[in-house]
Amino acid sequence: MSTGYLYEPLPDVADGLRLHLNENSDGCAPAVLNALRRLTRHQVAWYPAYEAATNAVARYFDVPADTVLLTNGLDEGILTLALAAFPRSEGEASAVVVEPAYGMYGPSAALAGARVVPAHPHADLSFSLDAVRSALAPDTRLVMLSNPNNPAGHVIADEVILELTKAAGPDTLVFVDEAYADFAGISSIGSLAAAPNLVIGRTFAKAYGLAGLRIGCLLAAAPIIRRLRGAIAPFSVNVFAATALVAALEERGHLAWYLRQVEAARSVFFRAFDQMGLPYWRSRANFVLVRVGDAPRVRARLAERNIHVRDRSTAPGCEGCIRVTAGLPDEAEACVRALEEVLCDEPR
Ligand SMILES: *Cc1c(COP(=O)(O)O)cnc(C)c1O
């Protein structure tokens, strides 16, 4: 059976400046490695316990513990959500995927048996509530979007998210992927109590620097979390990830410092792109989408200089664009210098 969708993995990158996956370029907090070193041989031998990590997440986001589901990366959360939203529905129900979309949404919904209906953004790639409203149908069971969005980095106001949950109706789950919410200082977690069909996804891969450990979570009303548990393996999060998460959430200083670095790096890119006359989006996340012309060629030339960026030129509305991660300001400066060299001998 072909779903018509395939999530394409990127080739491994051995060394150089990794500005292609929006990772934390400083690394995890040192406290995380210390916590991992304290694990005993027995703890590694036992099936993992989740109470401590679940309670830590609940305290951190100020929500009840029965509204939290830990997942093996948010990617697993997305797949779990799709499986739970479309039980045994061979094309009889639909998922509305808000474009531009993260690469897992469509494939996961299609794999679960949903018809995938795209909802297109405004010309500047910002969110269009009207487009989502028109895409909603009586058989829509799931709406998937990300806030801030990827790859432009636009933010959707919380009131608009609430309006969308009402427009979708009680039988349709509205998934808001907040993978980059820390960088923007926004969240709809405070709306969970008012919106029983809202599901929020968070990852500790980006701002918290735990991408290699694979840890994320879904937050939703307790009845939805119980439904989601029926679609996920009971021990999908390993003991290292659960341990690291508790340590990372206790270490607020490192996160606050890193968020300031990202903001400074973003400004480096904004200023440089202004000077170079390159069109870009004023992202609130830890990446900037910029129109460089021949994006595949620019990506390849930067890779020759050991700077890895993402070619997003095939995404709708992103023609000629690359996406660069904003990590530390020095890295942004290095990327800008290399980009200037590359564009100098680039026919445009
Ligand atoms: C990175 C990313 C994810 C995946 O997070 P993991 O926890 O690494 O699986 C999900 N959604 C968006 C929008 C992302 O950018």
Q: How confident is the model at residue 2 (pLDDT cuts 50, 70, 90)?
A: very low
Which uninterrupted H or E stretch holds 17? strand 17-18
Q: Answer whether 333's CB lies under 8 Å from 268's CB.
A: yes
Q: Does the CB atom of residue 75 touch ligand 1 within 6 A?
A: yes
Q: Which two tokens stand for residue 50?
A: 């989740």
Q: Does the CB atom of residue 98 touch ligand 1 within 6 A?
A: no
Question: How much is the mean pLDDT over the chain?
Answer: 94
Q: Does the CB atom of residue 77 touch ligand 1 within 6 A?
A: no
DSSP assignment, residue 190? G
- What average pLDDT score do residues 120-145 get? 96
Neighbour count for residue 296 (Cβ, 10 Å) = 12
Whole-number pLDDT of residue 7: 58
pTM, whole model, 2 decimals? 0.95
Name the one residue in this structure whose structure tokens are 């996340």: 285
Percentage of the chain beyond pLDDT 90 is: 90
- What average pLDDT score do residues 168-177 get? 97
Q: Which atom of ligand 1 is nearest to the CA of 21?
A: 1
Q: How far apart are CA 239 and CA 241, in angstroms?
A: 6
Beta bridge partners of 18: 308
Write out pLDDT tens, residues 47-66: 999 999 999 999 999 999 99
Q: Does the CB atom of residue 80 touch ligand 1 within 6 A?
A: no
Atom 15 of ligand 1: nearest residue by CA position: 179
**What CA–CA distances, in Å, run from 282 to 11, 155, 263, 290?**
28, 10, 11, 10
CA of 75 to the centre of ligand 1 (A): 6
Q: Does the CB atom of residue 102 touch ligand 1 within 6 A?
A: yes
Q: How confident is the model at residue 8 (pLDDT cuts 50, 70, 90)?
A: low
CA of 150 to the centre of ligand 1 (A): 10
CA of 190 to the centre of ligand 1 (A): 21
CA of 186 to the centre of ligand 1 (A): 17
Q: Does the CB atom of residue 216 touch ligand 1 within 6 A?
A: yes
How far is Cα of residue 19 from the mean position of the Cα atoms in its chain?
A: 15
Q: Which two tokens stand for residue 110?
A: 């299609």
Q: Which of 105, 177, 208 to mutate to test the pocket of ligand 1 (most atoms within 8 A of CB)?
A: 177
Q: Answer whether 198's CB lies under 8 Å from 16's CB.
A: no
